[in-house]
Amino acid sequence: MAAWLAYLKSRLLLPEQPEPDGVSAEDMATALAQRLRRLEAIRHVAEQLLNRPQLGRDIFPRGQPEPIAEIKRPEWSATLYDLLSAYATQRQKQARAFVRMPKRTVWSLAEAREALERLIGRSVDWSPLDQYLVEYLVEPSLRASVLASSFAATLELVREGRLEVHQHAAFAPLYLRSRRQGGNNQGSVSVKADNG
């Protein structure tokens, strides 16, 4: 390197002469300066790399990595019955223990009979069954119960001979009246069906 620098210095000091290789002394000096700048940049980057935090000195790893457990053979074996019974057990834990149905109010046959005896005892002429029950049919949830119980009580009163029932056609309204005292002891039920 010292010989190279001495040669370069001498060429720069001597007057310019044509060289057989065609490279001038200034070109050689510029190339050398470029190489020295590159060398300086590499040294600077190397110094930066050395000053970075180093593993084991400035920073440390979190420890030995845990290996993934490899199961060579299954640890659990279950049949279809075991699976279904486990499912049923879980469902029973979530199911409600007590189911309470709301109490339904129904009109008993005795209540219907008592109401009909009270209401029909007042009238002598034919009156529709709905007219007697109009005050009991206010609540919609009781409507079916009131009609069914009243119809059964009506048939009981007809059988006992205390009431007469009349209906003009199928699905027509039922007409009721109190039994007249002059007839026989059996009640009467009459239904007329129109063929036209």
pLDDT tens-place string over residues 92-136: 887 766 767 777 778 888 888 888 887 777 666 787 877 777 777
The continuous run of DSSP H or E covering 27 comes out as helix 25-51
Q: Is residue 180 part of a domain?
A: yes
Question: At which residue do the structure tokens 């009349």 appear?
Answer: 166
Do 173 and 148 touch, CB atoms closer than 8 A? no
pLDDT value at 61 more than 70: yes
pLDDT value at 162 more than 60: yes
Listed residue (173, 176, 168) closest to 124, CA to CA: 176
Domain that holds residue 155: 109-191
Q: Is residue 179 part of a domain?
A: yes
Q: Which pLDDT band, with edges at 50, 70 and 90, does 188 fall under?
A: low
Q: Is residue 136 part of a domain?
A: yes
Q: Is residue 156 part of a domain?
A: yes
Please report, for residues 117, 127, 130, 164, 167, the alpha-carbon distance to residue 193 in angstroms, rounded to integers and kept in the order given: 28, 19, 21, 18, 9
Q: Is residue 114 part of a domain?
A: yes
Q: Is residue 171 part of a domain?
A: yes
pLDDT value at 196 more than 50: no
The CATH number that applies at residue 139 is 1.10.10.580
